[in-house]
Chain A
Amino acid sequence: MARTMVRLGDLAKACKSKNAGPYELTVDVMFGDAETFDKVRASGVITRALFAKLYHVPEESVLLTEYPPAFAYKATFERRIVSGAVGDTDVYGAQQHAPLLDVEIPL
C-alpha cells in the first residue's frame, strides 16, 4: 500500500519550544488524540537522531520522552547560545520550533 507523506505541522495540535532553564531548550510536539499519536509513533520518524539533525546537537545529548497522557513528545537539548548571552536571538527560546513543522511523516 502506498504511503502518503504528511507534514508534522499538519498533523500536530501544538508544536512549541521554550527554555528549560537558561541552558536548555525543550521542544514539545502534541497531537490531538491517541490515534494520531500512535500513527506518528508507528512511523518511527520522531527520534533523538531527528532532533540532533534539526538542531545540530549530538544525538546522545538529546533527552527524548514519549508522553502518552498528553499525546506528546518532548525533546530537551542544549541551547545554541545560553539565554541572554552575547549573540543570543531568542531569550525565552519560544521560536525555535519551526524546522519540525516541515518534517514529513509517512502515514
Chain B
Amino acid sequence: MSNEVRMLSASGILGYGYPEASLKAGLERRPHMIGVDGGSSDPGPHYLGSGKSFTSPLAIRRDLRLLVNGAIANRIPMMIGTCGGAGGEPHLQRCIEIVRNIAREDRLSFRLAVIHSEQDKRYLKSRLAAGKIQPLGPAPALDEATIDRAERIVGMMGPEPYMRALNEGAQVILAGRSTDPAPWAALAMHLGIGPGPSWYAGKMLECACNAALPKGHDCLFVTVRSDSVECEPTNPERRCTPLSVAVQALHENASPVLHREPGGQLDTTDCEIRAVSERATRVTGMRWTPQAYTIKLEGAEKVGYSAITFAGTRDPGLVETIDRFLDSVRASIAMKVAAFGVRPRDYQLVFRLYGKNGVMGDWEPKRASAAHEIGILAEVIAGSQETANAVLAVTRASLLHTDFAGRMCKEGNMAFPFSPSDIERGAIYRFSLRHVVEPDDPYEMFPIEYETV
C-alpha cells in the first residue's frame, strides 16, 4: 500500500489537445497513472444517438499516441473514460482501433482491457420489471416502450470495473460511459487510498486544467494522500490557487459541495483549501458517505429528420411586425404543403429569431427588440428527410414572398446568404432517459474484455 498516489490528467477531453512538454514534465514526476476523460453529454443527444464522436479521429490519435507511449515507457497504466465522446459501442470500437494502430505503428505491446457500457435492452427490461429502475428528479417512471424506442442506452460506470481490470493486470484501459472521476478514483483506491480523497482527486482531474489559472487544455498533476489532495499544473505557466481549485467545484455540477456518485456521496462542505506553493494547492476534509449503489442511464431516441435554412431581414416594417408576419407564413405553409399531402401533424416548424430572442427563447426578458435587422433560422422536423426538405422548401419561398401590411420590399422579404439555401441535418435525436438502475453488483452492467496488443 502506497502512502502517496500521483496521477496525471492530460486534458479536459481526449482530442482537445495538450502541450507535449506538459505531459513530459508530468511523467518526470513519476505518476502512478496517466489518463484523460473522453466524453461528455454536453454536445447534446446527436452523438449518443448517431454513434459519432464530437472530437475528430485525427485529434484523438494525436492525444492517444503520446499517452500510450508515455505509459508504456514508464510502465504505468493509461486509462480513458467515456471513449469516443458518448461511450457507446461504436464510440468505444473507434477508440480501440486507434489504439491498436498506434501499437502496431510504434511497435508497442501491452495488456489492454476494454470495458463496455452500452446496455442490453433485455437486461434493462428485467431490471425495470424487478422495480430496480427509478426516475431522477421530476422524470416520469420508465416504461418498456421508452427502452424500445432508444437508439442506444449507456450506463455510467463507477470505478469498480476499472479496479477489476487493474487487478487483472491491464495496462491500457479503454472504457465506455463512465462517471468522469472514475479512472482516477479507481487507481487511487486500487493503491489503498480511501474513497473520499480518491473521488475528490478524480473530480479535480476530470477537467484537468479547468482547475488552474489560466484555464486551458493542459495537464494537471494530483498527489493524493490518506487525508489530502494536492493539485499542480505541470505547465509552469499555469498554477492552482485555492480560488481556482474552489471554482472547479462549481463546474457542470448541480451543487458545488454534494456530489452523488455510484455507491455514495462526496461531501466537500467542510473542505479546507490551502496554497502549499505559488503553483500548488492542497485540499483536506472531504467526506464520502456510502449510499445505495445506483448507475445513471443515458439514452437517445430518434425524433425525425431535420432541414434548416437561414435568412435575414433588414426591412424596418418587417422587423417591427415579425411575429405577426411569421404567423401568416405558418398559415401559408400549412395550406401549400397540404396540397401535396403533408398534414400539420406530419411536421414541426421552428423559427429562431436572432436579434430578438434567438438565444433565450421564452426566457428572454427584453421583449422589444432594438435591432435593425433580424436573423431567422427556420427548421423543419418531419418523419422523413424528403418531407422535411419539401416543407422547408415551401417555408423558404413563403418567408421570401409572403405579403404583409405596408410592405415596401415587394421583390422579397429576406436576404439568403447561401445557394443552396436549404441544409439537410439528417436524423436528429433527443435524450430519452433520466433514470438510475440498481444493479446486483457494480460489474454486471459493464463486461470487461482483455487482449494482448
Interface residues in chain A, defined as those with a beta carbon under 8 Å from any beta carbon in chain B: 18-24, 26, 28, 30, 54-56, 61, 63, 65, 67, 69-70, 72, 74, 76, 78, 80-92, 95-96, 98-99
Contact = CB atoms under 8 A, between A and B. Distances in A.
B281 to A, nearest CB: 11
A91 B360 contact: no
Q: 3 smallest A-B Cβ distances: which pairs? A: A84-B44, A69-B246, A70-B246
Interface string B308-352: 000000000000000000000000000000000000000010101
A65 B251 CA distance: 13
Nearest to B136: A23
B431 A23 contact: yes
Interface string B79-110: 00000000000000000000000000000000
Nearest to A80: B363
Interface stretch (B145-153, B159-167, B232-240, B252-260): B252-260
Nearest to B353: A89
A80 B138 contact: no
B247 interface: yes
B362 A22 contact: no
B246 A20 contact: no
- Of the four ranges (under 10, 10 to 19, 20 to 34, 35 or more), the interface on chain B belongs to 35 or more
B408 interface: no
A22 B361 contact: no
B243 interface: yes
Contacts of A76: 254-255
11 contacts: A22-B41, A26-B250, A30-B250, A54-B365, A69-B246, A83-B44, A84-B430, A86-B348, A86-B430, A89-B358, A91-B42
A19 B41 CA distance: 9
A56 B428 CA distance: 28
B44 A69 contact: no
Nearest to A68: B246
Contact of B138 (A21, A78, A98): A78
B255 A69 contact: no
B249 A85 contact: no
A65 B361 CA distance: 26
B43 interface: yes
Interface in B352-375: 352, 358-363, 365
B139 to A, nearest CB: 8
A91 B47 CA distance: 13
Interface in B381-438: 381, 428-431, 434
B365 A99 contact: yes
Interface in B101-127: none
B362 A85 contact: no
A22 B252 contact: no
Contacts of A28: 250
A20 B252 contact: yes
A80 B361 contact: yes
A86 B303 contact: yes
